[in-house]
Amino acid sequence: MAYAELHCYSNFSFLKGASHPEELVEEAARLGYQALAITDECSLAGVVRAHMAARQHPLKLIIGSEFITVEGIQFIALAPHRAAYGQLAAFISRARRRSHKGEYELAIKDIKNNLTECLIIWLPGSQHCAYQNPIQQQFLNAIDSPCWIAIEHHLNGHEEMLMQQREQLAQQLQLPTVACGNVHMHCKTRKPLQDALTAIRLNTNIHSSGFNLHANSERYLRDITTINKLYHPAAITATLSIAEQCRFSLDELSYEYPKEIVPPGLTAQQYLRQLVESGVQQRWPEGETRHVRSLIEKELTIINELRYEYYFLTVYDIVQFARSVNILCQGRGSAANSAVCFCLFITEVDPEKSHLLFERFVSKERNEPPDIDVDFEHERREEVIQFIYRKYGRQRAAITATVITYRMKSAIRDIGKALGFDISLIEQLSQSIAWWDKRDQFPQRLQELGIDISNPAIQQFCSLVNKILGFPRHLSQHVGGFIISSGPLDQLVPIENAAMKDRTLVQWDKDDIEALGLLKIDVLALGMLSAIRKCFDYIQAIRGQQWAMSTLPQEDPATYQMLQRGDSVGVFQVESRAQMAM
C-alpha cells in the first residue's frame, strides 16, 4: 500500500530536525512515497528549498506547519489550496509577531476562524485524551475544518498506551485516524546528530539530556514495507486521502508591487515614461544625443516587455523620499548600466560618458529579475527604512531573511559542548582553525595539537562537525533587502520580528525569493556616503560652495594620483590591499 508522510521536521525547525529539506525530499522520492509534508514548527522557512528539490522528483510536496499552544495542544495545519496557504502564512505571522525573535505564542482561541481552509492533524497528549476534557473541548470548538488524530509508532516501548488512548478518543469523537511518522531525519544514521542538536537546543550535553533525547532512531523516513507492518490500512489510506486533497504548489504564488505609486489616470508604463522624460530634460537641458535617446527607448521597451515598471517606480519613490529630506543616496552595481536609472536620479553614471551594457542589469534572455542596490548614508538609513514601513505598513513590507548557518568554528564549539568536551579544549580546537581551512584539513589540525584522531570520541566529534556544517542555526535580517507587496505580505510568506527594535523580516532569504521569481529592493547603508555628506556640509560652511554627487568634477587628476599611491584607506570598494596594489 502506498503512503504519504504528513508530519516531518526539516532542519529549519532549528536544532530539532537533523536533515536538510532537500535530503528529505530526495529520500521520500527514492522510497516511493506519494507525498511529503514539510511541517516545521510555526515556520515555512524551509519550504522553498523543499519545493525546488521536489521539482526534480515525482513527489508531491505538501506545505504545512506544526504548532503547540500555550495550553499544550499540539497540532499540524496543512494547506490544501492557495486560500489555505494564505491563512497558514498569516497565522504563523500573528503567532511570531506577538513574541520575541525566534519564538512564537499561540493560544487555542487564536485558531477560531483563522484556519478554516486548512486540514488539521491533532496529536493529543495523554493529558488531553480523556473524553470531554475541558482543554480538548475548547480545541475541538475552535477548529472549523476537517480534523484527524495522528497515530505514531516509534517502537520505543513507551507510546503504546498513548496510541491506544488516541484510538479510543478517535472512536469517542468519531474522528478518523491517520498514520504519521513525526520524522526528524531522512535516514536513521542521523540519530547521533539529532541527539547533539537536542543538547545544543537545551544548552546542555548529550549525557545530561536524559529523556529529552529520542529513545531510538525510528523517527526517520521508513520504507513502505515497514510502514505497512506498523499501521492499520485505514490509517495509511487516510494519508493518501489527505495528500489527494492537498493540491497547492508554491508555483501558484503571484506577486504584485504596490499600485499607489502610480497617479490616478496613468498606467505604470505612462508614468515611468513621464518621469524618464522629465529626467532627460534635467540631465540634458540642451537636448540629449541620438545615442542616449536610443538607449532610453531600448531600455523602456525591455522594461515594458518584462513588466518591471512598478519595480523601477518603487525604487524611484524611495530615492525621492531620501532626497526630499537631504539623505545622500546612490545606486550602484549593475544598475549603473541603466540610462533609465540615470534619468530617475537613482544613479549618477552618465550613459553618454560610459559604454556599459544594459543587458548586465536587465535581460530577457537571462530571465532574472533586476537588482538595484541603493546605498544611503549609514547614519540616516533607518529613516528610509521607517519611511517604507510607514508608507506600506508592516503587513505589506518586510526585510528578507538571512539564514545563519554553521561554519567550522561555530560547529566545533557547539558539537564540543554537546559531547561534554572540556571548555578549554573546545577553545583550543576552535582557535586552531583558520577561516580559509578546508573541511578535510580538520583532522590535520587536530593532529598538530597532539590529539589522537583514532580515539572513538574524537572520530565521533569530527563526524558530527562535518555533518552539521551548513545546517541553519537561526534566521537573521538581510543587510537591507526589502519585499514590498500590493496586498498583505503575510498572505505570501510569514513575517516575524527581528532582533532590532521596529524591524520585521520574512522567513525566506534572498535565494528563496529569487527562486520563486519575487523581486526585492536593497536599501543599504554606506559609511562613505555619510563622510561625503559631511564633506559637502563643511565645504558649504567654510567656502560657501554647494556640491552634489552630480556636480562633482569628473576625472580629477589629484584623485587618480592618490589611488596610484595606494592612498585609499577607508574608501569604499578600493580600500583592500589587493586593490591598493593594482
Domain range spanning residue 299? 268-402+475-527
Assigned domain for 482 exists: yes
Assigned domain for 105 exists: yes
For residues 330 and 268, is the Cβ–Cβ distance under 8 A?
A: no
User: How crowded is the C-beta side of 522, counted as CA atoms within 13 Å?
Assistant: 22
Q: Model confidence at 52, in pLDDT bands (50, 70, 90)? A: very high
pLDDT in tens, 198-232: 999 999 999 999 999 999 999 999 999 999 999 99
pLDDT at 525: 92
Assign residue 279 the CATH number of its domain. 3.30.1900.20
Are 488 and 513 found together in one domain? yes
pLDDT at 509: 93
pLDDT in tens, 503-528: 899 999 988 998 887 878 899 999 98
- Which of 424, 441, 469 is where one domain is finished? 469
* DSSP secondary structure code for residue 553 in this structure: P
Q: Give the three cell numbers for residue 526.
A: 554606506
How far, CA to CA in Å, does 580 sit from each of 37, 49, 557, 564? 53, 40, 17, 8
What is the rounded distance in angstroms from the CA atom of residue 217 to the CA atom of residue 199? Answer: 16
Assign residue 147 the CATH number of its domain. 3.20.20.140
What is the rounded distance in angstroms from the CA atom of residue 49 to the CA atom of residue 22? Answer: 6
Are 383 and 355 found together in one domain? yes
Greatest mean pLDDT among 52-56, 157-161, 288-292, 509-513: 52-56
Are 444 and 411 found together in one domain? yes
What is the rounded distance in angstroms from the CA atom of residue 278 to the CA atom of residue 291? Answer: 18
pLDDT at 437: 67
Residue 61 has pLDDT above 80, yes or no: yes
pLDDT in tens, 251-309: 998 777 888 899 999 999 999 999 999 999 999 998 889 989 999 999 999 899 888 89
* DSSP secondary structure code for residue 140 in this structure: H
Q: Which DSSP helix (H) or strand (E) runs through 242? A: helix 233-245
pTM given for the model: 0.89
Average pLDDT over residues 485-492: 90
How far, CA to CA in Å, does 272 sit from each of 146, 258, 266, 308, 345? 49, 14, 10, 10, 13
Comparing 123 with 369, the larger pLDDT belongs to 123
Are 310 and 426 found together in one domain? no
Grid-cell match 476534557, residue found: 133
Cβ neighbourhood burial of 423 (10 Å; 0-12, 13-18, 19+): exposed
Assigned domain for 499 exists: yes
What is the rounded distance in angstroms from the CA atom of residue 306 to the CA atom of residue 308? Answer: 6
For residues 183 and 220, is the Cβ–Cβ distance under 8 A?
A: yes
Average pLDDT over residues 178-188: 97
**Alpha-helix runs per DSSP H in 436-556:** 442-448, 456-468, 510-515, 527-543
Return the percentage of the chain with pLDDT > 70, whole number: 96
Q: Is residue 102 left, alpha or beta, with left meaning phi > 0 and alpha meaning psi from -120 to 50?
A: left
Residue 68 has pLDDT above 70, yes or no: yes
Q: Model confidence at 574, in pLDDT bands (50, 70, 90)? A: confident
Are 311 and 447 found together in one domain? no
How far, CA to CA in Å, does 336 sit from each of 290, 354, 580? 20, 10, 23
Assigned domain for 351 exists: yes
**Averaged confidence pLDDT in the chain:** 91
Q: Give the three cell numbers for residue 140.
A: 475541538
Are 212 and 124 found together in one domain? yes
Judged by DSSP in three states, 311 sits in: helix
> What are the two backbone dihedrals, phi and then psi, of residue 443, each rounded to the nearest 5 degrees?
-60, -35
pLDDT at 579: 77
- Which of 226, 252, 278 is where one domain is finished? 252
Residue 580 has pLDDT above 80, yes or no: no
Task: State the Cα angle at 179 between 175 and 183, rounded to 5°.
Answer: 130
Residue 453 has pLDDT above 90, yes or no: no
pLDDT in tens, 31-47: 999 999 999 999 999 99
Average pLDDT over residues 109-137: 91
Are 84 and 12 found together in one domain? yes
What is the rounded distance in angstroms from the CA atom of residue 278 to the CA atom of residue 300? Answer: 14
What is the rounded distance in angstroms from the CA atom of residue 478 to the CA atom of residue 216? Answer: 38
* DSSP secondary structure code for residue 263 in this structure: P
pLDDT at 49: 97
What is the rounded distance in angstroms from the CA atom of residue 459 to the CA atom of residue 451? Answer: 11
Q: Model confidence at 23, in pLDDT bands (50, 70, 90)? A: very high
Assigned domain for 313 exists: yes
Closest CA to 432 of 396, 465, 456: 465
Q: Model confidence at 133, in pLDDT bands (50, 70, 90)? A: confident
Assigned domain for 263 exists: no
Closest CA to 244 of 359, 386, 135, 146: 146
Total domain count for the chain? 4
Assigned domain for 61 exists: yes
Contacts of 230 (CB under 8 A, 6+ apart): 153, 155, 179, 222
Are 438 and 374 found together in one domain? no
Q: Model confidence at 367, in pLDDT bands (50, 70, 90)? A: low
What is the rounded distance in angstroms from the CA atom of residue 246 to the CA atom of residue 117? Answer: 11
Are 248 and 397 found together in one domain? no
Rg (CA), the chain: 28
pLDDT at 359: 67
Are 519 and 565 found together in one domain? no
Are 234 and 364 found together in one domain? no
pLDDT at 559: 85
Are 247 and 291 found together in one domain? no
**To the nearest 10°, the Cα dihedral for 352, 356, 360, 364?**
50
For residues 9 and 44, is the Cβ–Cβ distance under 8 A?
A: no
- Which of 446, 469, 492 is where one domain is finished? 469
pLDDT at 514: 85
Average pLDDT over residues 314-322: 95
Average pLDDT over residues 474-495: 91
Assigned domain for 260 exists: no
